[in-house]
Structure 1
Amino acid sequence: MPDPEQGKAVAALDRAHVFHSWSAQDQIAPLPVAGAAGSRFWDYEGNSYLDFASQLVYTNIGHQHPKVVAAIQEQAAKLCTIAPAFANDKRAEAAELITNHAPQGLNRVFFTNGGADAIENAVRMARVHTGRPKVMTAYRSYHGNTATAITMTGDPRRWANESAGHRDGNVLKFFGPYLYRSAFYASTEAQESERALAHLEQQIQLEGPNTIAAIVLETVVGTNGILIPPPGYLAGIRALCDRYGILYIADEVMAGFGRTGTWFAVDNWNVTPDLIAFAKGVNSGYVPLGGVIVSDHVHDTFRNRAFPGGLTYSGHPLACAAAVATIKTMEEEGIVEHAAWLGENVLGPGLRELAEKHQSVGEVRGLGAFWALDLVKDRETREMFVPYAAAGADAAPMNAVMAEAKKHGVWPMPHFNRLQITPPLNLTEDEAREGLAGIDAALTVADSYL
């Protein structure tokens, strides 16, 4: 039932005491959320929203799934916490289930609290394993907000952090493939793949292959565009790493656990990384959890050599119980397969129909339940709908688009000139079509700015 007065009280308490991430505190007004279930959440005014962002792309099985809620309650009654140095049944079972779905040869899990510390520890493993300092990452990327992870990040959130001194000097950037806005003057996916790989290999050679520990890539770039790698690109990354003795680290924090219609996004291209960083969808974010899936040959480095890292809450029993329940639920309910079906039969076709209707849509791309609309002011020039790193008045057109979507009960994820569609993987067909109708209305607002 609506309770506006309670909503006002929550907003006031938040304003008085909560310091929010990535924000100028006086310029935000966080929506007080009263509850959520399935693919929806709602406020105290009685407004309901289809969660087409899966919050921050992590509620892969939706909100309040009863099987996961029950598993957390059962674990809380049995054992709330135990230190990482002990063996724990749910920790071990979660690791087994995760590795069962990972590519062959990745058989162990180092648990973390989330994605950023998963990346930090994957890089630490690579540096110790290879004895080399440098790490290479793409300009269009996001890897987390801790010191090395934020330096590895390619979007503008890195800038202020580096200015404040939070910088790992052994991180190098390169251009990844993005055919729609190609840095390589490519006109086909084959050209984009070939030229992007040649560019990266030249950088490796100029930096000194024997100084580079790892190449770290989001398998599908998430926040910075939902960029699908062209055929042959990831296989080329694997080949470059093998050629120069570099570890390939796949960042699957967003793309993992069914988001792309496969258990891990690398499965779409049949490549096997040396390390996989994960978080988010492993337990739908019900309790914070992340980790690194470790290949056997990297694990061998630490058989008789201590790994120089650890976290107080590594493999927290409540989080691992949620992961066990989430993975089993995904298996039992065919959620990964449904995500693939949803992308191929509903979201993909539906978004492409909207692109034909709305001149503000420059490109549609995605797979599974992981999609983006690249919005433009002009289809011929491909001028971005709002500028790169848009903020304040520059971001006003996208804010208007989002406001219209919310008015129609849909909450997608905006990022600069892109509208990203990343709903729960078990979204129903009717919910998907309802959400697409809301996006249709929002794009009418976008068209008005052309």
Structure 2
Amino acid sequence: MQELHQARYEQRRDTVTDTLTGLGNRLALVNAFMDAQDAAARGAAPPALLLVNLDGFKALKNSAGHAAADQILVTVAMRIRSAVRNNDVVTRLGGDEFAVLLPATPQPRAAAVGNRILAALEPNIDLGNNSVRCGASMGLRVAEQHHSAEDLLQEADLAMEESKSEGRNKLKVFDPATLHARQLQRRIVGELREAIRSDQLVLFYQPIVELATGRIEGCEALVRWNHPDHGLIMPDQFIPVAEATGLIAELGRWVLRTAVGQLRHWRDNPATSQHDFSIRINVSAADLQSLEFVDDVSEALAEESLPPESLVLELTESAIIHNNELDRYTLASLHRLGVGLEIDDFGAGYSSMGYLRKLPVDRVKVDRQFVKDLGKDPSQLSFLAAIHQVIRSCGLEGVWEGIETAEQAEALRSIGCASGQGYYFGRPLPEAEFTAQLVRQQTWPA
């Protein structure tokens, strides 16, 4: 009988134990949470949860191997256990994620335990042949009465992600505003996906003009969201969400096909066909990292029977500054295809002359901040002339954005600048208004 009891005990223990580290597993955490919540319902303080995720563990595993990775996890488990109190429940949830349930623990005390854990993980871990440092990011959430174990884990995980995004190796306490922002983001993503499918998105067009003649040489397609409840939403309110959630690729394909299709309409329309200009669209970092992007561009042009040079892709400095292999491959492929490539907002970020010479781009669009002081600072025009000379010495054309007055346009023209964009020539307009402008105008401004 005693042997039977022992066998059952061992079986129960095995079901709540992580085999690698000897810590509790997810089931052990849930059981401990339920016990702590029962105690809180009887008057005890609520439990707190610390969620611990190792920083850079995947890279360590790839470089050191599986056996060393297991040794790291075992050492981390021992260090976490050494830093907590006797009644705290330390568990491994899987991979490099650990959780510590602290029964009846207010937030300041839980944070103190969390910081002790981070300090315990600071020293290097000896792997025999070498040693590695394995810091961690940590999220803290104190349970509320309505919480389930999954609720608590999710909210501690949000705090942990905040810790990683802020530089890692720190403890972050859950902020309800973070949850609200995440829920809002999910809602926006769902609505934006529907917007792409149901023609809620629209393109506005802004002219790019030859400074010497006033002739239109291009127009930039700028996406807007015509929301059924909130009206016209500007891109800075939804593009970051699309980029953060992976929806930017689908959005970018819609912009590409719509803009190229509109250019075809203008070229086929006798009332607007006298204007020979290119269409410009903005390209995201995600586009450059997509193996399908070059094919998408090629197919969009082929469907509308447009030559490649009729499309110019505008790339921000931040999208190309990483200069990794896939970026270089995509840019080289687009260059071979024959589409125009332009660096947008030049001067607002890195502005390295080195990459200007190396990248297969044709133009740079100089950020509006350089134009706004024309007429206020006597030395500004000389400064702009120097920038213009650098751009030309790299074999590139410059487009100057942010031109708002005739005086600014004339000053840029006087130093040899070729192209400009800004409210002086025209604000972004919806397709119908821009088409009407093309019909009645030969030069910009009117």
For the pair shown, the structure with the greater C-alpha radius of gyration is 2
Q: What's the TM-score, normalizing by structure 1?
A: 0.24
